[in-house]
């Protein structure tokens, strides 16, 4: 297991149930695997329930530090740890940090705020166990029963069986909270230890749908209420937790493409999975309406850039001039103005000043007639290839900036298509099957991936 953003093709034979599993695996805090035993096929996406809670603490003292909770003071123990990060996503850099030990757990100080981070379902479900149990299922009926009994937290789940039944389950294990509004709070002021609950909502809080009228399910980290084009999952007040209701650019785009086909085959699915069009004006929870409505004649130095983005069709293919500019612009905007929120429905409105600042920076590197293939690349070792896509397109790319170019060194996603009828699997990896660049197979799928 070589790192957080390494994908692995797997073929596992489990002897005790005489079954095989095929798919991709992502080594992380949880396992995401898309696979099949050729009776059912399934896939996961992270649904961003309450993976974590950040509690803001009352800590006082100059020489010694004291935590006050339950109206009692506890003296904290100072500790240190050594870790490493990567500058520009590439260069190892040591980090030497101080933290504090308490009865509640380890406490860190960030910008004067003393924080306690809790991961409620850590260790409650294991990816290998999840997939082993799924592999023993022969129908969606069995899969549904399994998900209801096991409640695989963190993960949105979709499956299809040999009889063309399709199933979606929002498996979130949501921690019970006295104040339901605190589910969406980035920070929770901790006054009482009872605010840290070991209880979770039951199966009455499990959101699911099966065999919708539209005949498809789209699960790309968007609202569990919007996985179909039907009202199969009504928005009600009975569900609790960190729920969200907005769609993202990817889910809207995928649905529009699916609706444009009468019937789909595997070639159609490949085309959809490598699509690069984004839906304006909201892109990754940032509303760029001000940009797309801007009067370019008010900004003579930026007139060409503003006009180009206004007429851009949102397609981020290799030969797009608008995509080249937007990719640069978005990188600078994200680095300087984007603030993440635990509430996925929060939409930030990009202001005119922010937009002008990022366009001014882009002007340094963007030249007229420059195309996306001239400025954005996927890279592993010495292999460097131009690649289409931008954040929030179906074929998503998240690059870093270096010397006037944008480089992606992590996979925006892998592709796996399974045909249960013909017992076929089509797969494509952004890079290769290892991150050891001295090995040939570290980059052996890059050309296939970039050529769609």
Q: What is the pLDDT of residues 376-425, one digit of tens each?
A: 998 888 889 999 998 888 888 888 899 999 998 665 567 788 899 999 88
In a domain, 179, yes or no: no
62 and 98 fall within a common domain = yes
The three-class DSSP label of residue 90 is coil
Least confident residue range of 257-271, 298-312, 409-423: 409-423
Instruction: Report d(CA 107, CA 123) in Å as an integer.
Output: 20
Judged against a pLDDT cut of 80, whether residue 17 lies above it is answered with: no
In a domain, 364, yes or no: yes
Place 177 in a pLDDT band, splitting at 50, 70 and 90: confident
In a domain, 197, yes or no: yes
What CATH code is carried by the domain that includes residue 387? 1.10.1400.10
7 and 136 fall within a common domain = yes
Q: Mean pLDDT throughout 239-254?
A: 88
329 and 398 fall within a common domain = yes
In a domain, 437, yes or no: yes
In a domain, 273, yes or no: no
| pLDDT tens sequence across 34-90 | 788 899 999 887 766 567 889 999 999 988 999 999 999 999 999 998 888 877 667
**Number of structural domains the chain divides into:** 3
| pLDDT tens sequence across 359-385 | 999 999 999 999 999 999 988 888 899
pLDDT of residue 2: 39
Least confident residue range of 19-28, 127-136, 440-449: 19-28
Least confident residue range of 136-145, 172-181, 364-373: 172-181
Domain extent, residue 294, equals: 282-408
142 and 217 fall within a common domain = yes
What CATH code is carried by the domain that includes residue 41? 3.60.20.10
Judged against a pLDDT cut of 50, whether residue 450 lies above it is answered with: yes
* Positions of E strands within 262-388: 282-283, 286-287, 348-349, 376-380, 383-386
Structure tokens at 35: 């696979």
Q: How many CB atoms sit inside 10 A of residue 219's CB?
A: 21
List C-alpha distances in Å: 113 to 56, 64, 105.
Answer: 7, 16, 16
135 and 28 fall within a common domain = yes
| pLDDT tens sequence across 189-211 | 999 999 998 888 888 888 899 99
Write the DSSP string, 139-178.
Answer: SHHHHHHHHHHH--TTEEEEEEETT--EEEEE---PBP-S
In a domain, 260, yes or no: no
167 and 18 fall within a common domain = yes
Specify the pTM: 0.86
Place 242 in a pLDDT band, splitting at 50, 70 and 90: confident
Judged against a pLDDT cut of 50, whether residue 273 lies above it is answered with: yes
386 and 247 fall within a common domain = no
In a domain, 272, yes or no: no
In a domain, 38, yes or no: yes
What CATH code is carried by the domain that includes residue 101? 2.30.120
Surface-to-core class of residue 98, CB atoms within 10 Å of its CB (0-12 exposed, 13-18 middle, 19+ buried): exposed
305 and 370 fall within a common domain = yes
């Amino acid at each position: 297991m070589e790192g957080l953003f390494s994908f692995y093709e797997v073929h596992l034979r489990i002897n005790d149930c005489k079954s095989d599993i095929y798919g991709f695996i992502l080594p992380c805090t949880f396992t995401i695997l898309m696979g099949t035993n050729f009776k059912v096929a399934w896939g996961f996406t992270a649904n961003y329930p309450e993976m974590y809670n950040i509690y803001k603490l009352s800590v006082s003292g100059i020489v010694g530090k004291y935590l006050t909770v339950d109206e009692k003071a506890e003296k904290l123990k100072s500790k240190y740890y050594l870790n490493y990060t990567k500058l520009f996503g590439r260069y190892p850099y040591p980090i030497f940090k101080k933290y504090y030990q308490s009865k509640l757990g380890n406490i860190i100080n960030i910008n004067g705020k003393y924080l306690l981070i809790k991961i409620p379902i850590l260790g409650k479900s294991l990816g290998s166990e999840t997939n082993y149990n799924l592999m023993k299922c022969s129908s969606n009926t069995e899969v549904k029963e399994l998900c209801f009994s096991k409640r695989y937290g963190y993960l949105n789940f979709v499956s299809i069986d040999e009889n063309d039944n399709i199933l979606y389950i929002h498996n979130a294990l949501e921690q019970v909270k006295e104040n339901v509004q605190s589910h969406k709070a980035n920070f929770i002021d901790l006054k009482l230890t009872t605010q840290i609950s070991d209880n979770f909502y039951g199966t009455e809080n499990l959101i699911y749908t099966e065999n919708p009228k539209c005949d498809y399910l789209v699960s790309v980290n968007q609202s569990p209420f919007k996985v179909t084009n039907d009202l199969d999952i009504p928005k009600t007040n009975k569900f609790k937790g960190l729920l969200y209701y907005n769609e993202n650019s990817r889910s809207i785009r995928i649905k529009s493409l699916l609706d444009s086909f009468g019937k789909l085959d595997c070639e159609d699915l490949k085309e959809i999975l490598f699509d690069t069009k984004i839906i304006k004006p909201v892109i990754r929870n940032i509303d760029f309406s001000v940009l797309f409505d801007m009067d370019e004649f008010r900004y003579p130095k930026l007139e060409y850039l503003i006009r180009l983005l206004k007429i851009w069709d949102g397609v981020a293919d290799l030969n797009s001039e608008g995509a080249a500019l937007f990719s640069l612009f978005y990188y600078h905007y994200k680095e300087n103005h984007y603030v993440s929120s635990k509430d996925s429905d929060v939409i930030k409105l990009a202001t005119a000043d922010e937009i002008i600042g990022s366009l001014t920076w882009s002007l340094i590197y963007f030249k007229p007639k420059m195309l996306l293939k001239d400025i954005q690349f996927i890279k592993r070792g010495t292999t460097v290839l131009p690649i289409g896509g931008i954040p929030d397109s179906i074929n998503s790319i998240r690059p870093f900036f270096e010397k006037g170019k944008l480089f992606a060194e992590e996979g925006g996603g892998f592709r796996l298509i399974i045909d249960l009828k013909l017992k076929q699997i089509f797969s494509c990896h952004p890079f290769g099957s290892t991150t050891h660049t001295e090995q040939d197979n570290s980059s052996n799928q890059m050309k296939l991936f970039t050529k769609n």
